[in-house]
Amino acid sequence: MSTRVELDNSPILLAARVARAFGNAHRLAYAQITPELTIANVSTNFHAIISNPANADDPVEGRRLDDIFYEFSGTEDTLDMIMQGGLPFFRLEDVNRVRPDGETVYLMFQISPLSDAQPEAGLLLIVEDVTEPAIMRQSLTQERNELRLVRNRLKAANTDLGRLNRLKSFIVTMAAHDLRSPLTTIRSYADILAEDLKGQVENDYIEFLMTIRSQSDRLSRLITDLLDLDMIEQGGLSLKPEPTDMRDVVQEAYDLMAPNAVLHRLTLTNEFATEPVIVNGDGQRISQVLVNLISNAIKYTPEGGRVHVTLGEKDGHAVTTIIDTGNGMTEQQLHKLFQVYYRTEEARESSIVGSGLGLFIVKTLVEAHKGYIKVNSKRGEGTRFAVYIPLASESEAT
Partner 1 sequence: MTNKILVVDDDLVVRRLLKVILEADGYDVTTAKDGAEALDKMRESRPDLVCCDLMMPEIDGFGVIEAMRNDDNLKAVPLIAITAAGRNSYIERALELGANECVLKPFAKNQLLSIVSDVLHEAQLT
Binding site for partner 1 (CB under 8 A): 172-173, 176-185, 187-189, 191-192, 216-217, 220, 223-224, 227, 230, 238
- Give the residue among 379, 345, 344, 385 at the shortest CA–CA distance from 366: 385
Are 392 and 243 contacting, i.e. CB atoms less than 8 angstroms apart? yes
- Cβ 183 to partner 1 shortest distance, Å: 5
Are 193 and 210 contacting, i.e. CB atoms less than 8 angstroms apart? no
What is d(CA 238, CA 235) in angstroms, rounded to the nearest whole number?
9
Nearer to partner 1, 149 or 171 (CB): 171
What is d(CA 166, CA 178) in angstroms, rounded to the nearest whole number?
18
- Cβ 168 to partner 1 shortest distance, Å: 13
Nearer to partner 1, 187 or 317 (CB): 187
- Cβ 153 to partner 1 shortest distance, Å: 34
Nearer to partner 1, 143 or 178 (CB): 178
- Cβ 257 to partner 1 shortest distance, Å: 14
Nearer to partner 1, 166 or 374 (CB): 166
- Cβ 225 to partner 1 shortest distance, Å: 11
Instruction: List all residues 6 or more positions away from 95 whose beta carbon is below 8 Å from its beta carbon.
Output: 69, 71, 106, 107, 108, 109
Are 231 and 360 contacting, i.e. CB atoms less than 8 angstroms apart? no
SS3 40: strand
Nearer to partner 1, 139 or 188 (CB): 188
Q: Considering all CA atoms of the chain, what is the largest pairwise distance in Å, rounded to the nearest integer?
A: 129
- Cβ 181 to partner 1 shortest distance, Å: 5
Computed on alpha carbons and rounded to an integer, the radius of gyration of the chain in Å comes to 44
- Cβ 177 to partner 1 shortest distance, Å: 5
Nearer to partner 1, 187 or 369 (CB): 187
Nearer to partner 1, 13 or 193 (CB): 193
Nearer to partner 1, 224 or 251 (CB): 224
- Cβ 139 to partner 1 shortest distance, Å: 53
DSSP-derived letter for residue 117 is S
Angle, CA of 17, 19 and 25, to the nearest 5°: 100
Nearer to partner 1, 24 or 355 (CB): 355
The letter for the amino acid at 151 is R
Nearer to partner 1, 216 or 287 (CB): 216
Instruction: List all residues 6 or more positions away from 317 whose beta carbon is below 8 Å from its beta carbon.
Output: 371, 388, 389, 390, 391, 394
Q: Which helix (H) or strand (E) holds 110?
A: strand 104-113
Q: Where are the alpha helices (DSSP H) in the chain?
A: 11-21, 46-50, 65-68, 76-83, 131-197, 203-233, 246-263, 283-299, 331-336, 345-349, 358-368, 392-397
152, exposed or middle or buried, with CB in 10 Å at 0-12, 13-18, 19+? exposed
Are 225 and 340 contacting, i.e. CB atoms less than 8 angstroms apart? no
Nearer to partner 1, 64 or 221 (CB): 221
- Cβ 191 to partner 1 shortest distance, Å: 5
DSSP-derived letter for residue 72 is G
DSSP-derived letter for residue 179 is H
- Cβ 180 to partner 1 shortest distance, Å: 3
Are 358 and 381 contacting, i.e. CB atoms less than 8 angstroms apart? no
How many Cα atoms within 13 Å fall on the side-chain side of residue 122?
17
- Cβ 331 to partner 1 shortest distance, Å: 36
- Give the residue among 380, 358, 222, 225 at the shortest CA–CA distance from 301: 380
